[in-house]
């Protein structure tokens, strides 16, 4: 078992939640410390408060992956007699790095919004607010016929060949590859100075640009040639749309009151604020983690009966109510669902790589609000 370094962990994390998914101007990425060190213990946190840093020190953590950026506005100073400076000092003294994944983690498949939708039990979920469309590329690689199967399998394993709900999509064509090894070459087939003609297969497949490193790495590993002949094409095809929030259906309709009770329980919130007639029937639910004030009209337009989001304002609640959209506000802190959710995803990925690393969900409660 190999202990990964911080860069390897973040590379793995960014395949699931790339920085390119973040909204413009958001602060994502490494914020404190360094990644060029072995990381055997990684903590997943919602907020990096002093109590969370103390927990990380106690737990011998090397790296914290947090949803809310610790540094959002530029710092004027770092004064270690004040809380913000003291927290940074503690992190640096204990060599704990902090990496932030904010709106990119909201958008990611399996990220905050998918975790919230699944906690609410929604089915047939779609994106509420599309923000990015995946860039697609095409790969064509020339492989001697007896290695074609292995290269195809490696490409599929690395995530190439997904089209909608189909995986391992590729196209092959047989042909003749010609090459002449020059002096100093160490050819898999043939000898220096002799022109070779080999029966090869041209394999074509498609992949999201963010997976390029992984896909090409897998191709090089599975391909027997010293120099692999391949082409990469940029495509006009639009990839899958990704975005903020989700909208889906409850398996069965229920009253707004029943739904609010259920949401409070499943999201482990201390209390929910409800806008709308408690006896009305709801089935279609929109959910958006964090502050979703900006998107209530999108939820309404897409036919939601009820919108679940945090930090809802008084006047916005009046507007939503007047338009017939019910709102359940369980608080911003329900995004804590990401702690266990992300830890589980990373644990699964790291196990596949046989890495010696533990992912710990922070157990510290960071909701500043209490309910009476």
Binding site for Zn ion (CB under 5 A): 290, 335
Specify the residue, 98 or 256, whose C-beta has the smaller distance to Zn ion.
98
Q: How far is residue 321's CA from residue 319's CA, in Å, rounded to a whole number?
A: 5
Pairing label, strands 196-208, 123-144: antiparallel
* Min separation Cβ 47 and Zn ion, Å: 9
Torsion of CA 78, 81, 85, 89, to 10 degrees: 110
When the beta carbons of 103 and 125 are compared against Zn ion, the nearer one is 103
- 305 or 335: CB nearest Zn ion: 335
286 sits in the region (left: phi over 0; alpha: psi -120 to 50; else beta) called beta
Nearer CB in complex with Zn ion: 142/296: 296
- In the bound state, the residue with its beta carbon closest to Zn ion is 290
Report the distance separating Cα 296 and Cα 285, nearest Å.
12
| 249 close to 285: Cβ distance less than 8 angstroms | yes
**Cβ closer to Zn ion: 263 or 350?**
263
| CB 289, min distance to Zn ion, A | 6
Q: Which residue in 152, 226, 153 sits closest to 196, CA to CA?
A: 226
Between strands 326-329 and 273-275, the pairing is antiparallel
Rounded to the nearest whole angstrom, what is the least distance from the CB of residue 106 to Zn ion in the complex? Answer: 8
Question: Smallest distance, Å, CB 180 to Zn ion?
Answer: 59
Cα distances (angstroms) measured from residue 241 to each of 21, 160, 238: 11, 17, 8
CB of 68 to Zn ion, least distance (A): 6
| Least distance (Å) between residue 290 CB and Zn ion | 3
End-to-end CA distance of the chain, in Å?
A: 49
Give the separation between CA 263 and CA 122, rounded to whole angstroms.
Answer: 11
Q: Closest CB to Zn ion among 67 and 223?
A: 67
Q: Which is nearer to Zn ion, 66 or 219 (CB)?
A: 66
Smallest separation, CB 22 to Zn ion (Å): 13
Identity of the residue, 62 or 335, whose beta carbon is nearer to Zn ion in the bound complex: 335
**Please, what is the minimum distance in Å from the beta carbon of residue 117 to Zn ion?**
16
Interior angle at CA 113, CA 108 and CA 118, nearest 5: 115
The C-alpha atoms of residue 302 and residue 286 are separated, in whole angstroms, by: 9
Q: How crowded is residue 211: how many other Cβ atoms within 10 Å of its Cβ?
A: 19
Q: What is the bridge-based pairing of β-strands 306-310 and 281-291?
A: parallel
């Amino acid at each position: 078992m190999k202990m990964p370094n911080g860069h390897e962990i973040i590379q793995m994390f960014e395949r699931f939640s790339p920085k390119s998914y973040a909204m413009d101007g958001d602060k994502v990425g490494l914020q404190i410390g360094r990644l060029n060190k072995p990381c055997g213990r990684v903590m997943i946190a919602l907020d990096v408060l002093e109590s969370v840093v103390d927990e990380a020190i106690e737990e011998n953590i090397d790296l914290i992956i947090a949803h809310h950026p610790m540094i959002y506005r530029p710092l004027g100073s770092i004064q270690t007699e004040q809380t913000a400076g003291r927290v940074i000092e503690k992190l640096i003294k204990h060599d704990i790095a902090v990496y932030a994944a904010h709106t990119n983690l909201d958008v990611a498949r399996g990220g905050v919004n998918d975790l919230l939708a699944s906690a609410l039990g929604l089915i047939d979920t779609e994106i509420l607010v599309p923000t990015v469309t995946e860039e697609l590329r095409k790969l064509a690689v020339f492989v001697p016929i007896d290695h074609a199967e292995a290269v195809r399998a490696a490409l599929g394993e690395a995530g190439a060949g997904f089209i909608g709900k189909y995986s391992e999509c590729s196209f092959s064509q047989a042909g003749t590859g010609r090459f002449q090894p020059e002096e100093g070459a160490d050819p898999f087939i043939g000898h220096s100075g002799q022109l070779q003609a080999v029966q090869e297969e041209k394999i074509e497949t498609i992949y999201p640009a963010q997976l390029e490193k992984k896909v090409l790495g897998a191709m090089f590993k599975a391909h027997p040639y010293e120099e692999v002949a391949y082409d990469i094409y940029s495509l006009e095809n639009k990839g899958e749309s990704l975005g903020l929030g989700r909208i889906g259906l409850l398996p069965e309709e229920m009253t707004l009151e029943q739904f609010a009770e259920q949401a409070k329980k499943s999201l482990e919130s201390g209390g929910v604020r409800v806008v709308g007639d408690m006896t009305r029937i709801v089935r279609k639910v929109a959910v958006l983690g964090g502050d979703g004030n900006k998107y209530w009209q999108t939820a309404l337009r897409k036919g939601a009966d009820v919108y679940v989001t945090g930090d809802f304002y008084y006047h916005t609640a009046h507007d939503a109510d007047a338009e017939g959209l019910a709102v359940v506000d369980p608080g911003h802190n329900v995004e804590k669902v990401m702690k266990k959710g992300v830890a589980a995803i990373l644990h699964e990925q790291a196990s596949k790589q046989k890495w010696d690393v533990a992912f710990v969900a922070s157990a510290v409660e960071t909701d500043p609000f209490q309910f009476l």
